[in-house]
Every structure is written in structure tokens, then in C-alpha cells.
Structure 1
Amino acid sequence: MISHRHQSLGLRGWLAALALVALCAIANGAARAASLEPLEIVTKSGVQVFSVEVARTEEEKTTGLMYRKELADGKGMLFDFSPEQQVSMWMKNTYISLDMIFIRADGRILRIAENTEPMSTRIIPSNGLAKGVLEVAAGTAQKYGIRPGDRVAHPLFNSH
């Protein structure tokens, strides 16, 4: 009986360790998601401030906002495509409609693809050289009057 009890405690200990590992993984994910950076867009009607996650690694850029069910107003994801280049995006495995804001190295908005189609594999090109792409909830560009030529302030872009 005693040896069975020790095995049981061993199993409980093992399960507790697994639970701790899972909690640490969740906390790491939350910490990564919580590391937001400010980004400002200067429009004709004023400055709009966003809190953005920055996708710098290939894995982060490939995953982007895939599988997310919502994106709050004022939040977004900034993709770093340094150096400036032709950029193509798509909405594969992306459940929410987005506005994609293509930004040149000087921080000026090149193009905006509004209200993109969720789950689509249709290619959405930058139509010019872009250093970054800001993804925000669909309707954001129209809501705040964000237009091509507006200036984006973030350390990724050279300020002129």
C-alpha cells in the first residue's frame, strides 16, 4: 500500500510540474503579447496613437495576426520588412478583417488596403517599396481619416 501511495504522489508531482510548465508558457505568451510599442500617425485631423506588437522575425511575420478572434481599437501589429522592399501580404488563417497600411522607409504611408477579406489567400501587394506594414482592425483608416501620404512616427522609420 505504501509504495502505491508514493507512486500516486509521484504522479501528482509530475502533473503539478506539467501544470507549472504550462503556466510558464502561458505567461511567456502573455508577456510577449503585452510588449506593446507606441506608434503615431499624423493625419489632417490630428495625431492617432496606437499600441502595436512588432513582428521582426520570420516566424512572427509569417504568423502575424493569424488565429486571433479580435483586435481592439487602438491596437495593431507592425511588420518590419527592413530594408525597404516590395511587400506582399495575405489573410490566410486570419479570422478578422483588417486594414493594411503600407509604410515607406521615410515613414510616409504608401498605400492602404482597407477591409481585407478574412481567410483569403489573395495577394495584397504594397504597389511600391515599403519598410513596414501596420495591420489594424478594418475600418480604422476611414474612422480616423488615415490616408496615403500621412506620416507614421515609430523608431522603425526615418523621421524627416
Structure 2
Amino acid sequence: MLLVAGSPAGAQQEAIPAPPPSSLEVEGRQAEEIWIVTKSGRFRFTAEIADDPQERSRGLMFRKSMPPKHGMLFDFGEVRPVHMWMRNTPLSLDMVFLDETGTVTSIAERTTPFSDAIIDSGGPISHVLELNAGIVRLIGLQPGDRVEHASFEQ
């Protein structure tokens, strides 16, 4: 129950449920809120979710720009070693490798655009978060820090 300001003493009204979070879109694609938690603070970002093979294989290819507080979260649906590359990707990115709890296991900063060089996760992971190059350093993100999103185990 919710007490409403200005109501007579003792008057009560039923609480009205909060509306569901509004759908976020970036460049016409569905995006969701994520939080990155570092020693220097908690930072809100939006991320497109790549959780099927077709979305993961395309990733951020051909994308010429991305808003500063935006990224792409790759959800592999299992824990395994992952190998990424930058083929057909004109943006330099920071790649953040995450375990199933959202804990950062390793980071590849300032990847080389259009490169076919393999970027290795360094061990088994379940997710990769791609951000604009330089964001990792800007917010002080390091292995052991966390990313919060509904896809991670609590």
C-alpha cells in the first residue's frame, strides 16, 4: 500500500506498479542497460545483446561510430575459451572478457580496426563486452571488476 501526500490521515491507496523499463534503441537496434563496477565507481552504459550465432558473428562489423556510453555484450550461453577478431570492423574497441558471474577475467584494449589477428580470451569465459577504445582506461576497469546485467548468475 502507498500513502499519498495530501490524503486525509489514515487514508490509503493501492500502490500503482511502476511501468516496465522503456525499450532502449541505439541505431535502430534493441539495447539494454548494463552497469560496470570498478574501484572508482559504478558506470551506466547501454549495450546491444548478441546472444545468437548470427548476432555474434556480425558483432560491430561495418559500424563506423558508436555512442560513447554504449557497447555490445556477447552472450555465448556457455563457458568456454573465446577467440575474437576485428575483420570488417572500422572502430577500435576495448574487449572485456567476463565469466558467468560478470567478473572481468581479462581485457584487450584498443584493438586494431580491420585486423584478422586473433584476440584470445585467455581462458574460459561466457561473455565479451565491446566498448569504444579508451573507455576501459577512462573508468579504471581491471580484471576482478564486475559488469552487472540480467544475463549473469548472481
The size of the alignment, in residue pairs, is: 130
Structure 1 residue 37 displacement after superposition = 0.4
Aligned pairs for 1:36-47 within 5 A = 36-47=31-42
Aligned to 1:85: 80
Aligned to 2:135: 140
Any idea what SS the aligned residue of 1:96 has? coil
Any idea what SS the aligned residue of 2:100 has? coil
Aligned to 2:113: 118
Which segments of structure 1 move beyond 6 Å, counting only runs of 4 or more? none
Larger Rg: 1
CA contact (8 A) 2:56 2:74 kept: yes
Higher strand proportion, which one?
2
Aligned pairs for 1:1-160 within 5 A = 33-159=28-154
Question: Structure 1: where are the runs of 5+ without partners?
Answer: 1-29
CA contact (8 A) 1:33 1:53 kept: no
Across the aligned residues of Structure 1 and Structure 2, the Cα RMSD in angstroms comes to 1.4
Structure 1 residue 31 displacement after superposition = 8.2
Question: Structure 2: where are the runs of 5+ without partners?
Answer: 1-24
% identity of equivalent residues: 44
Amino acid at match of 1:126: S
Structure 2 length as normaliser, TM-score? 0.81
Structure 1 residue 34 displacement after superposition = 3.8
